[in-house]
Structure 1
Amino acid sequence: MADTTVRTATVDDARAISIVQVETWRSAYADLMPEALLRRMDVDRNAERRAETWAERHRDPRVVDLVAERGGDVVGWACVGPTDQDDLPGHGQLFAIYALAATWSSGVGHALVQEAEQRLRDGGFDRACLYVLDGNDRAAGFYERHGWREDGHTWIDERFGYGGVLVPLLERRRIRDLGEAL
């Protein structure tokens, strides 16, 4: 098994991050989302949009994108920062964490979540939240093993669609006390 290195991402990583996001969605969500929606995801458009909005998204120094590398190749990505959840003032949020399917269960996700939690602590957060797509049992189990517990809150994400049809996604919130040892 190759060593995993996690580092702060830069705008130059936009394309590699987009590849990880698109490929992971297609693998992890194949049974949870319409195939047409996953097929419409476009690495080039995603990378272009990500690069264009990079500076604005990172105005707050607590917003950090991380990439996991193996052998110099980006194989995972995570993003953290302050949450915008009204009922969780002062909390951080793990907005995204993805690893290429070929690296699942090999330590990439573990390395990313550990560094993401440390970056949240470094940003002054004692507690954080994240959202998991309903039915994504693999991710739910991963987070559970890392101390993230469901708090009963759900959210309907209405940002996705295809062919003019909105695809609402039910997501379940998890909370983690970042000072709690595992």
Structure 2
Amino acid sequence: MPADRMPVRNATVADAHGLAVVHVRSWQAAYRGLMPQEVLDALSIAEREANWARFMADSERSSRTLVVERDNEIVGWAGYGAARDDDAPGTGELWGIYAHPAAWSTGVGHALVTAVEAALRAEGHEVAYLWVLAGNDRAAAFYERHGWASDGGTKIDERPGLTLHERRHVKRLV
């Protein structure tokens, strides 16, 4: 199905399993060689599903999540909202886009990034940013094809047993 006809909708609590499957499988494929294999192997769909269910049920959350389905299965999701970084007040943030590896290069990412950009514009954001894991050249190239440009910003995200180096990409939305 062409990307311009892929239905994108808001995620619900009922989508927790599909969100988790895409989350885990995309990390395991996209981040192979970029983070320790034991971290990727230890990812649990059941744990991620429980986290997604809690997150989606939280009415106080400051982000929104969109999904794309194919044959009644979630094949991609994107999270977005107001910027989380203290130095970017009033800016929008694309928190993440993930597609199931079987759906890579099928237009799922394009449909999601287009929908997120439109939603951020509708919320009044003139500029948005996102973070890309250093070395994830596939993702960086995807965002660059969609008009997002590295601005040289970097950050280190410390997680249990894991240090992630990330690079910021920015896009003017209006």
Count how many residue pairs are aligned between Structure 1 and Structure 2. Answer: 172
Amino acid paired to 1:171: E
TM-score by length of 2: 0.93
Partner residue of 2:173? 178
SS in 2 for 1:93: strand
Q: How far apart are residue 55 of structure 1 and its match?
A: 3.4
CA–CA separation in structure 1 for the residues paired with 2:55 and 2:127: 27
Identify which of 144, 164, 168 aligns with 2:163. 168
Which residue number corresponds to residue 36 of structure 1?
38
The CA deviation at 1:23 is 0.2
Q: Percent of counterpart pairs with the same letter?
A: 47
Deviation (angstroms), 1:4:
2.4
Kindly indicate whether residue 48 of structure 2 is the aligned counterpart of residue 46 of structure 1.
yes
Letter matched to residue 33 of structure 1:
M
Q: How many angstroms apart in 1 are the aligned matches of 2:63 and 2:79?
A: 7
**What displacement does 1:135 show?**
0.3
Gaps of 5+ in 2: none
- Does residue 8 (structure 1) correspond to residue 10 (structure 2)? The answer is yes
1:52-131 alignment, distance < 5 Å? 52-56=54-58, 58-59=59-60, 63-131=63-131
Verify the 8 A CA contact 1:6 1:111 in the aligned structure 2.
Answer: yes
SS in structure 1 at match of 2:40: helix
Post-superposition, which runs of at least 4 consecutive aligned residues in structure 1 deviate over 2 A?
Answer: 1-4, 53-56
Write out per-residue CA displacement over residues 61-106 of structure 1, whole angstroms, 9 at most, x where no aligned residue: x621000111221100000000121221100111010011111111
Question: 3-state SS of the aligned residue for 2:131?
Answer: strand
Q: Distance in 1 between matches of 2:66 and 2:41?
A: 26
Q: Distance in 2 between matches of 1:151 and 1:83?
A: 16
- Aligned-partner Cα distance in 1 for 2:34–2:156: 14
**C-alpha distance in structure 1 between counterparts of 2:73 and 2:127, whole Å:** 31
Aligned partners of 1:108, 1:75: CA distance in 2, in Å? Answer: 7
Displacement after TM superposition at 1:126 (Å): 1.2
- Aligned residue for 2:90, secondary structure, equals coil
Per-residue CA shift, 1:145-168, capped at 9, x if unaligned? 101111111010112x3xxxx210
TM-score by length of 1: 0.89
CA RMSD of aligned residues (A): 1.5
Q: Does 1:17 align with 2:12?
A: no
Query: Tell me, which stretches of 5 or more residues in structure 1 are unaligned?
Result: none
**3-state SS, counterpart of residue 36 of structure 1:** helix
